[in-house]
Amino acid sequence: MPPVHAQDAPASPAVIRLNGVELHPDPAGVLVWPARRTLVVADLHLEKGSACTRRGAGTLPPHDSTATLESLAAALDRHRPETVICLGDSFHDPDAAERLDDADAERLRSLTARAHWVWIAGNHDPDPTPAFGGTVRRELHEGGLVFRHIARPDAHPAGEVSGHYHPKAKVRLRGRTVRRPCFVHDGRRLVLPAFGAYTGGLNVHAPAFREVFTGGFHAHVLGPATVYAFPGTRLSP
Amino acid sequence: MSADAASLPDPLACWFARRGWQPHPHQWAMLETAAQGRSALLTAPTGGGKTLAGFLPTLAELIAQPREGLHTLYIAPLKALTQDIHRNLTDPVAEMDAPVALETRTGDTPQHKRQRQRRQPPNILLTTPESLALMLSYPDAGEVFGGLRTVVIDELHALAGTKRGDLLALDLARLDRLAPGVRRVGLSATVARPDELMAWLSATGTDDGRVARIDGGNGPEPGLEILSTREYLPWAGHMAVHALGEVYERIKAADTALVFVNTRAQAEIVFQELWRLNEDALPIALHHGSLAIEQRRKVEAAMARGALRGVVATSSLDLGIDWGAIDLVVQIGAPKGVSRLLQRVGRANHRLDAPSRALLVPANRFEVLECHAAVHAVRQGTLDGEPLKPGGLDVLCQHILGMACAGPVEPDELYHEVRHAQPYRGLARDDFDDCFAFADHGGYALKGYRRYRRLQHDEQDRYRVTSIPDAQRYRMNVGTIVEAPTLAVQLRKGRTLGEVEEFFAQHLTPGDTFVFGGEMLRFERIVGLTAEVTRAKGADAPKVPAYIGGKLPLSTHLAERVRGILEDRLAWRELPEPVAQWLGIQGWRSAVPGREGLLVETFPRNEVHYLVAYCFEGRNAHQTLGMLLTRRMERMGLQPLGFVGTDYVLGVWSVKPPGTAEIETLFERDILGDDLEEWMAESSMLRRTFRNVGLVAGLIDRQVPGREKSGKQVTVSSELIYDTLRKHDPGHVLLRATRQEAAAGLTDVARLDQMLARVQAKIRVHHLERISPLAVPVLLEIGREQVHGEAEEALLAESADDLIAEAAAPELDQASLPLD
């Protein structure tokens, strides 16, 4: 069967302009800031599998951290950034770092060695460990952008880049419904999709997003090789 | 014990005598085998006194030797059936003044009563496979079941070969350890392979000759009639709306009619249409599995009172419950299988001596052939005989955990025990060990994960579940019935009407109207797990309900017979004129498919090239083949655009025309190799299957103590788990179970493989200039499956007329060509 074509799929990399800064949403779910050779990623949720298992929700396959770190390594290979910013909830819970097995711990160390690495604190990991390398920050202000875990509707919106909500878009195409993770933005704020292998999502029309994006918004929906841009009004609740 | 009245204890003999009854010969035979301590399989048609036959030995024994404790366990596939049997046994037991305590136990039984039943079990307990599994997971199972003498399994044909049957077989193996030598009695409709059911019943899991076969006869041959409609016989579609006027007349002429349909969508349309025609305001009701339970109970009660003249029902009414006065069964749409048809027809006149009366109403031309094939099969007494499948590994995972909840489990012993269950007779030790490892710690390639084990083990290498939450989790999720995630349908600020598949609800936009429970509803919004609706006003046409529910593929047996009719021109004489003509024109325009080989046609249409293959292997197999063919065509550079599979035919269309050599390559058997692997791994079908396997095996929960997880969340996380597992642990036991299940079920690979083997070097390719008559229905399906909404009906009708005119291309042609 032919793939589903989104008509407005761009030929060259998609561009989001945020507070005047040019950013590239990557189909893998990472954000690239070409001018600063920076790669931004949100919500890795490392060791979510073992956390659920420990809580007694069945013995989930433990390979999620491996899967997440391998995908991240592939993104680094493609973009070769000088700086990597993890927007919080990198570790699923405060003990997650200790549960990483040796191979995954090594994978993580070799990743942080490849770039200037910043861990932003999240609600799942209020105190992310620097044990694997990198530096820890609450927030990061850089070249007209501010990076934090959760969007702050009370703060000045211009140039805010955050994660936390795991945005997902629902698109109807000729009777079939596609649900995919996506980037959401309104030119001032941007929320990244979750990157972790076991992370679910929240529809961009959910009430939680209404506080973040008070006017209209756009979504860049992840595809296998490209991202598809949609105005929020074209997405289903 | 000899076969005379003297061998019945007095109260029982008197009870028969008071009624002027004699036990049936098969009932005597049951008493005899019981006296020998043998297990037995009783096959008899519906209404043959089967259930009483099953209980007679128990009643006789308990009357002769009253005792405390559990004597007989009765297991039925439906809760309603246990209640029905309870009612039917209570009166005779009271009349005989027999010292027999009799109770039901199902998911509805209150907690205090269930606890009391474990302390003081009744003599006869009527229950379901799931409730039995639950009872066996408690440490006191040995005391409860230690004195058990007999297990009666009702409707065995409906359980064996399913996951529920697998679970039950494993539980029977456990019962045999708790109560060695316990007798098993299977009650079944007549089946094509009784030897398989005997093996299933045997304590060794093989057909070892120890299970007595008791034949309750076939009953009188049912009176089957195929409706030859006065109306225009449609080319495609499944609703048979054209014939409902005639169906209504038959309902009017009968006392009480049961109108069976194949899908819930059909049920809604047929019900709606019958009421539109219902000028006499006959009490006609609707019964299907999506309706709220109270509503279904109401319909069943009204039926039992004789207050209804007709009920439109899906397979939710297929099994067992005795309605008494039904004198007509109508089957709308093709029956799909012979056994299923007989089961349904048997619902009329639930008595052994009176023949059932049934009317088959084909909805389109292919269905006419299928109905004729089914009637031939019934007359010749042949049945669908799909062999039983090996037991599911996911069910085994669940069972292992259940046994470890009951007490310490020694793996070698348990392996030995489960191999006494017929579905697991051939279970490899490696598979067992993997299932055991899964139950224990997930069995993942990552060894470090074993710190999260669920089973504690002692010095003797015995394993058990010690954590109370783990045991609770198991018990809340016991069973193998996995429903598609559903949303409740609720009137705004009003009552709940039933439920629809989440899949269906997602396609609705606020303002859409659809028919549900016989009412026209307007979709408003989804709130949590509820689809909020209002009653639609005005006479706008509804959006056709697209929720499918219960689409069964055509059985192999029936497919063979359809091919037989096509080949045998003499058999066409009994077909309605339009159908015989249709086949005739097909004969000279192209060829008529037959028993042997495979007919493939190609023709251009609207600048696209069609390939139509007459496989007759059922919808699932055709969908799979369609996926595989288009992949291969893509590589050949034919630029395939799409495909559609019906129960009979596969149609594929492409930019470039496939030549004969290419077509032969397309249908080579190796198409089931790498392509299949690759596609299966990516297909959403496997994801859905994985979700079911994960739910049954206990990887993901249906219910977590203290919080209900929505179907939606389960779907999301099972997909993510599937992707991760496939990449990092491709040999994991649950992935193997998923592939095994998909191969037999949704993808029907096994059937496809048999077909491809059969047709090698026997492919007849006909390159036509335009569409052939037999290809019209599948092309009409293309429109049906892709177009949605209201305007599309008109579009559909328009294209339908087009196609038919083109294919039939009038008498002129016919006259100019020799007809054979």
pLDDT in tens, B145-200: 999 999 999 989 889 988 999 999 999 999 999 999 899 999 998 888 899 999 99
Average pLDDT, chain B: 83
Give mean pLDDT, residues A73-95: 96
DSSP annotation of B322 reads -
pLDDT band at residue B272, thresholds of 50, 70 and 90? confident
- pLDDT of residue B711 exceeding 50: no
Q: Nearest-CA distance from A56 to chain B in Å?
A: 7
pLDDT band at residue B506, thresholds of 50, 70 and 90? low
* Chain B touched by A68 (CB under 8 Å): no
- pLDDT of residue A200 exceeding 50: yes
Chain B residue nearest residue A170, CA to CA: B506
What is the Cα–Cα distance from B291 to B499, expressed in whole angstroms?
Answer: 6
pLDDT band at residue A73, thresholds of 50, 70 and 90? very high
Pick B716's closest partner by Cβ from A59, A170, A200. Answer: A200
Contacts of A59 in chain B (CB under 8 A): 438, 441-442, 444, 449, 452, 454, 699
* Chain A touched by B732 (CB under 8 Å): yes
Q: What part of A 95-124 touches B (C-beta under 8 Å)?
A: 101
Tokens 């194949």 correspond to B262
Measured distance between the N- and C-terminal CA atoms of chain B, rounded to whole angstroms: 67
Give mean pLDDT, residues B523-534: 79
- pLDDT of residue B681 exceeding 70: no
Residue B568, Cβ neighbours under 10 Å: how many? Answer: 12
| Cβ contact A58–B700 (<8 Å) | yes
- pLDDT of residue B252 exceeding 70: yes
Query: Cα Rg for chain A, rounded, in angstroms?
Result: 17
* Chain B touched by A64 (CB under 8 Å): yes
Q: What part of A 30-59 touches B (C-beta under 8 Å)?
A: 49-50, 53-54, 56-59
Q: What is the pLDDT of residues B414-436, one digit of tens each?
A: 999 999 999 999 999 999 999 99
- pLDDT of residue B716 exceeding 80: no
What is the Cα–Cα distance from B556 to B561, expressed in whole angstroms?
Answer: 9
Give mean pLDDT, residues A43-62: 82
- pLDDT of residue B6 exceeding 50: no
Question: A96 to each of A100, A132, B47, B449, how far by Cα in Å?
Answer: 7, 12, 63, 13
- pLDDT of residue B740 exceeding 90: no
Q: Nearest-CA distance from A21 to chain B in Å?
A: 33
| Cβ contact A59–B699 (<8 Å) | yes
Calculate what percentage of chain B has a pLDDT beyond 90: 40
- E-assigned strand segments in B587-634: 598-605, 608-613
Among residues B271, B293, B291, B292, the alpha carbon closest in space to that of B282 is found at B271
- pLDDT of residue B788 exceeding 60: no
Among residues B744, B226, B335, the alpha carbon closest in space to that of B557 is found at B335
Beta pairing class for A145-147 and B328-332:
unpaired
Pick B704's closest partner by Cβ from A57, A61, A201. Answer: A57
- pLDDT of residue B368 exceeding 60: yes
pLDDT for B779: 83
* Chain B touched by A195 (CB under 8 Å): no
Chain B residue nearest residue A3, CA to CA: B641
Q: Which has the minimum average pLDDT: B254-263, B445-454, B457-466?
A: B445-454
Say which residues have a Cβ less than 8 Å from residue A65's Cβ, sequence separation at least 6. A46, A47, A49, A100, A101, A104, A197
pLDDT band at residue A89, thresholds of 50, 70 and 90? very high
Joined together, the tokens standing for residue B385 give: 């005989």
| Cβ contact B442–A53 (<8 Å) | yes
pLDDT band at residue A78, thresholds of 50, 70 and 90? very high
pLDDT for B457: 86
Question: Would you put residue B493 in left (φ > 0), alpha (ψ -120 to 50) or beta?
Answer: left
Q: Nearest-CA distance from B325 to chain A in Å?
A: 44
Alpha helices per DSSP H over chain A: 48-54, 64-79, 96-99, 102-112, 207-212
Q: Are B485 and B714 contacting, i.e. CB atoms less than 8 angstroms apart? A: yes
pLDDT for B347: 73
Among residues B102, B77, B287, the alpha carbon closest in space to that of B164 is found at B77
DSSP annotation of B81 reads H
Pick the CATH number of A16-150+157-234 from 3.60.21, 3.40.50, 3.30.310, 1.10.10: 3.60.21
pLDDT band at residue B226, thresholds of 50, 70 and 90? very high
Average pLDDT, chain A: 88
- pLDDT of residue B793 exceeding 50: no
| Cβ contact A177–B723 (<8 Å) | no
Contacts of B729 in chain A (CB under 8 A): 61, 63
3-state secondary structure of B278: coil
Domains of chain B in start order, with CATH, are 5-215 (3.40.50.300), 223-380 (3.40.50.300), 393-480+681-744 (no CATH), 486-535 (no CATH), 556-668+760-816 (no CATH)
Q: Which has the minimum average pLDDT: A84-88, A158-162, B128-132, B333-337?
A: B333-337
- pLDDT of residue B721 exceeding 90: no
Q: Are B525 and B537 contacting, i.e. CB atoms less than 8 angstroms apart? A: no
Among residues B79, B361, B62, the alpha carbon closest in space to that of B231 is found at B361
- pLDDT of residue A61 exceeding 60: yes
What is the Cα–Cα distance from A53 to A61, expressed in whole angstroms?
Answer: 9
Pick B630's closest partner by Cβ from A1, A58, A67. Answer: A1
- pLDDT of residue B796 exceeding 90: no
Say which residues have a Cβ less than 8 Å from residue B657's Cβ, sequence separation at least 6. B602, B604, B609, B638, B767
Q: Which residue has the higher pLDDT, B138 or B539?
A: B138
Give mean pLDDT, residues A137-150: 95
* Chain B touched by A233 (CB under 8 Å): no
* Chain B touched by A175 (CB under 8 Å): yes
* Chain A touched by B645 (CB under 8 Å): no
Q: Which residue has the higher pLDDT, B496 or B710?
A: B496
Q: Which has the minimum average pLDDT: A183-187, A222-226, B389-393?
A: A222-226
Calculate what percentage of chain B has a pLDDT beyond 70: 84
Q: Which residue has the higher pLDDT, B364 or B818?
A: B364
* Chain A touched by B114 (CB under 8 Å): no
Q: Which has the minimum average pLDDT: B131-140, B206-215, B570-579, B619-628?
A: B619-628
Give mean pLDDT, residues B694-721: 62
| Cβ contact B724–A197 (<8 Å) | yes
Maximum distance among all Cα pairs of chain A, rounded to whole angstroms: 50
- E-assigned strand segments in B680-741: 703-704, 707-708
| Cβ contact B446–A101 (<8 Å) | yes
Chain A residue nearest residue B448, CA to CA: A101
Question: B59 to each of B24, B86, B89, B118, B474, how far by Cα in Å?
Answer: 16, 14, 10, 22, 35
pLDDT for B503: 60
